[in-house]
C-alpha cells in the first residue's frame, strides 16, 4: 500500500529574518507594527460620517483608500444596503460585533423590454419598478444559441424612465429570446483584484427569506474574486439566499472565528483555484453544506471548526482539490454524509487526491443509509487517521467509511468507529 502524501506546508525559507522592518515602496508584505493608523468612524447617529446606507460606507472605504489605507470603524447600528460595498486594497473594515449589522431589503426582478448587445452599456426594462441609480443588480439570461446561462453583475448609474445606464459594458448578449431579466441581487461585501483586506467583528444578514438566490460563484454575504492576503475574522454571515462566505481564485485567505449559519447554500466556499486558505475556529451551522472545497483548491488547512446541522454534507471536497489538511474539526448531524470526497467524471487526474483527514470527530451522519466519510471515484493517496466516527442512533444501514471500488491506495489507520452497521465498507476488495 502506497503511503499517502501529507498536506504540503511551505518549504523551509533560509533567508535571514526581518528584524527591523521599514516601510519600503512596493513592499506590501513586510510593514512595521505602527502604533496608530488612519481611522475613520461611521455610524447611523454619530461618527466622522453619519448614515445607514451603502453610500456612506462606500464613501468611507474610498476615503481611507485614497489616504493610503487604514481602518473604517463601523459603530453600532443597522446599515441597509442597495448595493454591495466594494472594498479597495489596504482596508480594514471593523465593526462592533453583534451591534453592527449590514443587511438589505427584498430583491426585485423585472424582465428586459429590449435586446442589449455585448457591447452595450445600457438596458431597458419592462417597467422601472423600484430600481434607481446606484443600485447593485444581477442580470440573468440564456444564450439562445448554446442554451448557456448568463450572469452579469453591474451597478445602475443613470435612468430615463425604464432605460438604465450600467457602470460597465455587458460583454454578453442579452437578447429577448433568452428571457433576460434584471434583479436587485448583490453581495453585501465584495472585492476584486485587491490585496491586504481585513473584515472583522460585524454581522452580515442577507435577508434570504425575501431575496432570490444568487449562486456562490457570484455572490454571498462576502464575495471575493482574484484577491490575495485577505482576512475575515469574527464575522457572522447569515440568512443569505446563496453562500455565507465565498472567495474565488483568491490566495492566502484567512477565515477565522466566524459564524456562517442558516444560508441557503454553502457556509464557507473556498472557490476555484484558491491556494493556501486557512480556515480556523469557525462555526458553520445549518447551511445546505458546511465547508465546500471547490475546484483546484490546494495546500489549505481547515482546523478546529464546528460544522453542525448542515442539510447535505459537513465537508465536501472534489475536483483537483489536493494536498489539503483537515484536522480537529467537529462535524455533526450532517444530512447525507459527514465528509464527501466527490468523484469527478473527467478521470483520475481530476480527483481530490493527497488530502489528509486527521483527529476529527464525526457524529450522526445522514439518514438510515448515512456515511461518515464517503470516498467516491478513483480518489487515491488519502491519509485518514486518528479520527473518531460515532453513530449515536441505531446502526440501521449506516457506514463509517465507504470506499469506492475505483479508489486507489490510501492510508486508513488509528480511527475509532462505533455504532455503525459497517465500520469500513471497502469495495476495492470485492472488485479485486
Q: Does pLDDT of 29 surpass 50?
A: yes
The cell numbers describing 108, all together, are 426585485
**pLDDT for residue 12 is more than 60:** no
What pLDDT band is residue 3 in, cutting at 50, 70 and 90? very low
pLDDT tens for 222-271 read 999 999 999 999 999 999 999 999 999 999 999 999 999 999 999 999 99
Distance CA 387, CA 357 (A): 8
pLDDT > 90: what percent of the chain?
Answer: 88
Q: How confident is the prediction for the chain on average, in pLDDT?
A: 94
**From 22-31, 189-198, 334-343, the region with the lowest mean pLDDT:** 22-31
Quick one: pLDDT at residue 430?
64
Position 224 scores a pLDDT of 98
1 has pLDDT over 50: no
Residue 36 — very low, low, confident or very high, per pLDDT cuts 50/70/90? confident
pLDDT beyond 50 at 322? yes
411 pLDDT above the threshold of 50: yes
Q: Are strands 49-50 and 330-332 parallel, antiparallel or unpaired?
A: unpaired
The answer, yes or no, to whether residue 347 has pLDDT greater than 80, is: no
Per-residue CA distances from 283 to 287, 422, 425 (Å): 11, 29, 30
Sorting pLDDT into bands at 50, 70 and 90, what band is 45? very high
* Alpha-helical regions (H) of 311-418: none
C-alpha cell at 342: 466527490
Query: How far apart, in whole angstroms, are the C-alpha atoms of residue 381 and residue 354?
Result: 5
> 32: pLDDT confidence band, cut at 50, 70 and 90?
confident
Residues whose CB is less than 8 angstroms from the CB of residue 11 and which lie 6 or more positions away in sequence, other chains included: none
| 66: enclosing H helix or E strand | helix 54-66
> Has residue 170 got a pLDDT over 80?
yes
Q: What is the pLDDT of residue 13?
A: 66
Q: Residue 349: its pLDDT value, please?
A: 81
| Nine-digit cell string for 278 | 486557512
User: Distance between CA atoms of 211 and 241, rounded to whole angstroms?
Assistant: 7
7 pLDDT higher than 60: no
The contacts of residue 308 (CB under 8 Å, 6+ apart) are 283, 284, 285, 286, 290, 314, 330, 331, 332, 333
Q: Please list, in sequence order, all residues whose beta carbon lies within 8 angstroms of the beta carbon of residue 93, skipping any fewer than 6 positions away.
A: 61, 71, 72, 74, 85, 87, 189, 197, 198, 199, 200, 202
What is the reported pTM? 0.93
Decide if pLDDT at 5 tops 50.
no
- 167 pLDDT above the threshold of 70: yes
Per-residue pLDDT reduced to its tens digit, 269-287: 999 999 999 999 999 999 9
* Residue 348 confidence (pLDDT) above 80: no
Confidence of residue 31 (pLDDT cuts 50, 70, 90): confident
DSSP string of 144-176? TTTTEEEEEEEEEEEEETTEEEESS---S-B-G
Amino acid at each position: 500500500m502506497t503511503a499517502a502524501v501529507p498536506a504540503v506546508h511551505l518549504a523551509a525559507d533560509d533567508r535571514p529574518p526581518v528584524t527591523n522592518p521599514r516601510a519600503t515602496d512596493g513592499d506590501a508584505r513586510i510593514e512595521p507594527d505602527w502604533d496608530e493608523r488612519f481611522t475613520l468612524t461611521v455610524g447611523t447617529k454619530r461618527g466622522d460620517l453619519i448614515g445607514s446606507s451603502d453610500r456612506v460606507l462606500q464613501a468611507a472605504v474610498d476615503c481611507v483608500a485614497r489616504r493610503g489605507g487604514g481602518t473604517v470603524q463601523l459603530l453600532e447600528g443597522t446599515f441597509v444596503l442597495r448595493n454591495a460595498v466594494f472594498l479597495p486594497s489596504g482596508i480594514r473594515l471593523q465593526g462592533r460585533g453583534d451591534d453592527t449589522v449590514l443587511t438589505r431589503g427584498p430583491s426585485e426582478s423585472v424582465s428586459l423590454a429590449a435586446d442589449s448587445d455585448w457591447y452595450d452599456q445600457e438596458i431597458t426594462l419592462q417597467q422601472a419598478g423600484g430600481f434607481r441609480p446606484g443600485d447593485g443588480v444581477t442580470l440573468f439570461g440564456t444564450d439562445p444559441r448554446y442554451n448557456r446561462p448568463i450572469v452579469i453583475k453591474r451597478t445602475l448609474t443613470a435612468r430615463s424612465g425604464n432605460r438604465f445606464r450600467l457602470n460597465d459594458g455587458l460583454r454578453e448578449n442579452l437578447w429577448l429570446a433568452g428571457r433576460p431579466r434584471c434583479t436587485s441581487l448583490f453581495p453585501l461585501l465584495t472585492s476584486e483584484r485587491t490585496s491586504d483586506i481585513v473584515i472583522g467583528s460585524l454581522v452580515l444578514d442577507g435577508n434570504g427569506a425575501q431575496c432570490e438566490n444568487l449562486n456562490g460563484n457570484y455572490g454571498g454575504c462576502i464575495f471575493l474574486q482574484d484577491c490575495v492576503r485577505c482576512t475575515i475574522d469574527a464575522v457572522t454571515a447569515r440568512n443569505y439566499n446563496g453562500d455565507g462566505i465565498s472567495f474565488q481564485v483568491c490566495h492566502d485567505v484567512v477565515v477565522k472565528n466566524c459564524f456562517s449559519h442558516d444560508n441557503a447554500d454553502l457556509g464557507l466556499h473556498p472557490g476555484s483555484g484558491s491556494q493556501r486558505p486557512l480556515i480556523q475556529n469557525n462555526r458553520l451551522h445549518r447551511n445546505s453544506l458546511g465547508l465546500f472545497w471547490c475546484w483546484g483548491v490546494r495546500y489549505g488547512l481547515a482546523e478546529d471548526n464546528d460544522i453542525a446541522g448542515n442539510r447535505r454534507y459537513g465537508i465536501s471536497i472534489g475536483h483537483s482539490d489536493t494536498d489539503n489538511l483537515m484536522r480537529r474539526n467537529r462535524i455533526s448531524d450532517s444530512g447525507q454524509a459527514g465528509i464527501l470526497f466527490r468523484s469527478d467524471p473527467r478521470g483520475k487526474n481530476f480527483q481530490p487526491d493527497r488530502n489528509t483527514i486527521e483527529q476529527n470527530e464525526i457524529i450522526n451522519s445522514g439518514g438510515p443509509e448515512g456515511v461518515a466519510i464517503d470516498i467516491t471515484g478513483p480518489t487515491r493517496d488519502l491519509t485518514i487517521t486518528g479520527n473518531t466516527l460515532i453513530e449515536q442512533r441505531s446502526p440501521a444501514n449506516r457506514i463509517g467509511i465507504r470506499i469506492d471500488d475505483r479508489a486507489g491506495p490510501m492510508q486508513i489507520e488509528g480511527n475509532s468507529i462505533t455504532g455503525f452497521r459497517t465500520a469500513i465498507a471497502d469495495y476495492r476488495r470485492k472488485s479485486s
